[in-house]
Chains A and B, each alone.
Chain A
Amino acid sequence: MKTELAWVTLAGVLMWAGGCKREQRVFDPGAAQSQIANGVVLNEVHAGAEHLQEPSPSPSGTKYEQSAYAVGEGKRLFESYNCSGCHQHGGGGIGPALMDAEWIYGSHPEQIYSDIVQGRPNGMPSFAGKIPEYQVWELVAYVRSMSGQLPEDVAPSRSDEMAVTQAEQAHPKEHPPDESQHNVQRGKQ
């Protein structure tokens, strides 16, 4: 034991002396909880979990999805920040369609929030440091209204512009594959 420890110490000293940290190991002291990595989840399948999981809803995100005013603001900002330049009015163009059931990085509000803030490597620019957080949530709420994810009395009922698609309120609710697992009929497993 002692010999081993001496060797490790010696090796450490030598590396330090050589200015080379190439071989250095970081030993995690393993303090409970604080060391577990967490982030926005982009996959329903979690390693080590038996059931599909969805990101826990953020209270702030939910609040915006219940406010017609916030969603209306999101609709306005969707144009002001040039979201419509790529996603058009939900049908997509340069970027993917937002009115359908397909979500590359997940359909949940927290995931869409991260898409906007972090950007995505296949073309979605990052808006980090450019938009106040409450506006990002307003955008998230509006984006979800495009595929009918919001209650009808919250989703916009009309557009101030040329009518190019049905009002968000009239969009049928799409069913993305990662939608909430509650109320899903289950077969034998």
Chain B
Amino acid sequence: MLLSGCQKSATQEVMQPAGFGGVMHPYSGPMEKDDEEWVRATKDYANTRYSALDQINTSNVANLKVAWTFNTGVARGQEAAPIIANNTMYVVAPWPNKLFALDLTKPGAPLKWSYDPNPSPAAKGEACCDLVNRGAVYADGKVFYNTLDGYTVAVNADSGKLAWRTRMGNLALGETMTMAPMVVKDKVLVGDSGGEFGVRGWVAALNTKDGKVVWQAYSTGPDKDVLIGDRFKPFYDGDKGQDLGVKTWPPDAWRIGGGTAWGFMAYDPAQNLVYYGTANPGPWNPEVRPGTNKWTSGVFARDADTGQAVWFYQMSPHDLYDWDGINENVLLDLPVQGQTRKVLIRADRNGYLYVIDRTTGQVLSATSYVYTTTTTGVDLKTGELQRVPEKEPKTGQEIRNICPVAPGAKDWQPMSFSPRTGLLYVPHENMCMDEEGVTPNYIAGTPYVGANVRYYAGPGGNEGELMAWDPLSGKKVWTVTDKYPMWSGTVVTAGDVVFYGTMDGWFRAADARTGKTLWQFKTGSGIVGQPVTYRGPDGKQYVAILSGIGGWPGAIVSNNLDTRDDTAANGWGSALRDLKNVTQAGGTLYVFSLP
């Protein structure tokens, strides 16, 4: 399947993605008990984004109606997950990052309070991909979130008063913060953004009581900075050795080498390990940073209390294409070759869907899930990604038909997992690009990229897709294509409904077993956010989504870019020439329920 379209050279190797033929296997592994709230962006520690609510289901979802709306006042990319705790909904808007608390006990959910962190406007020139924020986290009577100018703040959940505020990022170096924190025990875990500015990535744990940094683990540099010590036992030889965060770079390049941590965190309470991915190495132009560029474009498992690294696996060593490893990790216990393994599943930007043993870091399988011209597979003995040398970017040379594209087979937009079907619901891209390396110059506070790129649809002509993936067979069960990249997250419920949004503004409910659209509603702007569902104080199930085009691709609209330039929004100009004609900037929360 899928072989027409943009293929330009007859001699190139093409990796066939996995086809259809997956089946549903009800999942028998443990799932966290559903609190019917939504206290963190990922729903549970395991990142399943599964809700056990079934009041809204395949038989009645067609009757879904708008219950109430709320305007964030910011017409920029709305990537945040609304947070629901104690009958209150907490919404973080894009810069200037106001936090709104909405009272769910009253009709129309009036504003209880709002908190204004007053972030620096200079942050708007240091954020790569619009002015987004991916949401807050609720724990112990506080709401925690990050501001674009690099602060982590804790706000009293009842009063809206600031509890503490800690400066974590250095804006002068282009360091910003966009990710949704996760609270584990008495620590709030945060990470930085700025991989396109030559910042040095890190994850930090702050004490929830006072905001003091308990530990901070860098993604580059000497072992002591990376928190690599006695407990570090990577599975593959390529990740073993001393100070690889220094030695796998040209001298001092690790200091501006990226590896930021702006994705979602996962936590396994039984092992007390946190899992997260590290972003691309900087700059994009790979020729100026020979080496495997540890510890970028990989996954870390760390002790939640000390931050000490336990294992690391690098999906894309010496990344060639801006393939951040930040995509979320879903923690499941799956049968693999007759044995139940504690695994971590990730749909990586590099085009492979990985099943990794989350105790050891061993890759159990890596299956291609999109059209690929850049790699031929993952060697399970060495863990290495097998590259196609002709597709390596070169300075001063245009390499065409690089698939997947820089934003990857899938970017940050999170998938969900239903134990009822045993399937993952993965929103992703189907795109290719042309790239030419140019000489990058490091100037603090300005972009450090060194590449000209233009993106376009992959075979079939659709840029986006939502697939239902069977992790046991490594095959699709169904897929829904869309003209635009599928840049919204998904949620799946016990009512066997998958909710997702499109960049032209449709919010949809799909049948979890067939993908068939059961209901849809056209919102006021494109959707790039994270749907959530919860039980309201009145006992009814609600579904909420923020509508507001933006983010990396959607900046075409939200920052009013000119698509006569293919490279507008760093490559999206050519892919989204007509987006301004189909949607306008916005920032509205929609909440739906059955009448």
Contacts and interface: CB of A to CB of B under 8 A. Distances in A.
B559 A80 contact: no
A99 B448 contact: no
B328 interface: no
Interface string B427-448: 0000000101010010101111
A118 interface: no
A82 B441 contact: yes
Closest 10 CB pairs of A and B: A123-B125, A91-B565, A85-B447, A91-B568, A97-B562, A82-B446, A123-B124, A162-B436, A164-B566, A91-B562
A122 interface: yes
Interface in A77-108: 79-82, 85-86, 88-97, 99-100, 102
Given A88-B568, A91-B564, A162 B125 contact: no
A86 B562 contact: no
A162 B567 CA distance: 10
Contact of A121 (B122, B398, B441, B555): B122
Interface of A: 79-82, 85-86, 88-97, 99-100, 102, 121-125, 161-162, 164-166
Given A81-B446, A99-B565, 19 more contacts: A79-B438, A81-B443, A85-B446, A86-B447, A88-B573, A89-B565, A89-B567, A90-B562, A90-B564, A91-B562, A91-B565, A93-B570, A94-B125, A95-B125, A97-B568, A102-B560, A122-B121, A123-B126, A164-B565
A162 B448 contact: no
A100 B573 CA distance: 14
21 contacts: A80-B441, A81-B441, A81-B443, A82-B443, A82-B446, A82-B448, A88-B568, A91-B561, A91-B563, A91-B573, A93-B569, A94-B125, A99-B565, A122-B124, A122-B125, A123-B126, A125-B125, A162-B454, A164-B454, A165-B566, A166-B564
Nearest to B399: A162
B402 interface: no
B452 interface: yes
A112 B196 CA distance: 25
B97 to A, nearest CB: 15
B238 to A, nearest CB: 32
B130 to A, nearest CB: 9
A188 to B, nearest CB: 33
Contacts of B436: 161-162
- The majority secondary structure among interface residues of chain A is loop
B555 A93 contact: yes
Contacts of A79: 438
A86 B568 contact: no
Interface string B107-146: 0000000000000011111111000000000000000000
Contact of B565 (A90, A94, A121): A90
Contacts of B555: 93
Nearest to B442: A82
Contacts of B563: 91
B449 A85 contact: yes
B232 to A, nearest CB: 35
A159 B122 CA distance: 31
Contacts of B570: 88, 93
A123 B123 CA distance: 6
A164 B455 CA distance: 11
Interface in B556-595: 559-570, 573-574
A86 to B, nearest CB: 6
Contacts of B561: 91-93, 97
A143 to B, nearest CB: 14
A95 B127 CA distance: 10
Nearest to B197: A85
A86 B559 contact: no
Residue of A81, A90, A93, A122 contacting most chain B CB atoms (<10 Å): A93
A74 to B, nearest CB: 16
Contacts of B446: 81-82, 85-86, 125
B441 A94 contact: no
B125 A124 contact: yes
B196 A85 contact: yes
Contact of B452 (A95, A122, A162): A162
Contacts of B573: 88, 91, 164
